[in-house]
Amino acid sequence: MSRVAYVNGQYVPHKDAAVHIEDRGYQFADGVYEVCEVLNRQIVDMPRHLERLGRSLSELRIEWPLARKAVEYVLKETIRRNKVTNGLVYIQVTRGVARRDHFFPSADVAPSIVVTARNTSRAAADLQAEKGIAVVTYPENRWPRVDIKTVALLPNVLAKQNAKENGGKEAWYVDTDGNITEGGSTNAWIVTRDGVLVTRPAESGILRGITRAVVLDLVEREGIKFEERAFSLEEALEAREAFVTAASTLVMPVVKIDTAIIGNGHPGSIATSLRQLFHTATDLQVV
Ligand code: PDD
């Protein structure tokens, strides 16, 4: 089946999909994005993702490229045209195409919008979750506005590549206080020796993950002991469990941090049950 992408008002063959070389996303990383999970032809937590997209856009003073309802339609239509059953849908909005100049272009320059969707293997992801992943720490070196989901991901790319080259699947950023902030494309969690689930507050230093928010709803519903506070690398190394969350990984157990084995080296019971329960707390919208 040939893939299709939505680019500025048109559905085009994925292999030919392109934006202009002077798109500000290309030249300045002047744009934002969202990634949503697709489960059984349903978009998971679309309202929360669109809410965050709206916030990212307004923080950068970029207009919505289309009315929000129309964006919802395009997401669903791109999923439908690509016959995605389980996978991911990606939306990117940039400040548009204009002659290269750091200043914002004039108000008549329309934002660019691109949507893609693809199937992913649930079986492979579940198999990975049964084994857990290794993470590799990396000094926090990103700008302070990581709350905005911008396409400026070079530090994340470098941290994740370093993780890969050192046997990991994800990077964990460590700030100058020795605390874990988050992963290269995930939020970070631990379960302490006393069985308390801990994740860092989202007020600053991390992206306010949608998966994180859903897990917090679950934690409350299930009565799991929980503290929202910073945790150090040292504490993480001593943890009973660790895991990461993102729309692309859901709840993914972490069994190794750098060279240290976490817990007994197998996915922990809290991570595993949160992964199993995850979709019982999500908002599913049929495509
Ligand atoms: N990443 N932190 C960072 C830095 C992220 O890039 C992401 C998402 C998250 C988790 O957010 P959410 O639960 O809303 O997916 C946390 C996406 C999946 C990506 O870049 O592919």
In a domain, 207, yes or no: yes
Region of residue 54 (phi > 0: left; psi between -120 and 50: alpha; otherwise: beta): alpha
pTM of the predicted model as reported, rounded to 2 decimal places: 0.98
Average pLDDT rounded to a whole number, residues 103-113: 98
Which residues are near ligand 1 (CB < 6 Å)? 35, 182, 185-187, 207, 209-212, 245-248
- Pair (109, 169) in one structural domain: no
Q: What is the mean pLDDT of the chain?
A: 98
- Pair (14, 37) in one structural domain: yes
Task: Determine the Cα–Cα distance for residues 71 and 75; give it in Å rounded to an integer.
Answer: 6
In a domain, 268, yes or no: yes
How many structural domains comprise the chain? 2
Work out the widest C-alpha separation in the chain, in whole angstroms: 58
* Domain enclosing residue 71, as ranges: 4-120
- Pair (138, 152) in one structural domain: yes
- Pair (111, 134) in one structural domain: no
* CATH assignment at residue 204: 3.20.10.10
Quote the pLDDT of residue 210: 98
156 Cα–ligand 1 center, Å: 11
Average pLDDT rounded to a whole number, residues 122-137: 97
Average pLDDT rounded to a whole number, residues 200-212: 97
Of 120, 140, 167, which residue sits at a domain end? 120
3-state DSSP call for residue 98?
Answer: coil
In a domain, 14, yes or no: yes
Return the exposure string of 243-268: e unless at least 16 CB atoms fall within 10 Å of the residue's CB, then b: bbbbbbbbbbbbbbbbeeebbeeebb
In a domain, 287, yes or no: no
In a domain, 286, yes or no: no
Residue 149 appears among annotated catalytic residues: yes
For ligand 1, atom 5: residue with the closest CA: 185
Task: Determine the Cα–Cα distance for residues 125 and 249; give it in Å rounded to an integer.
Answer: 7
- Pair (136, 229) in one structural domain: yes
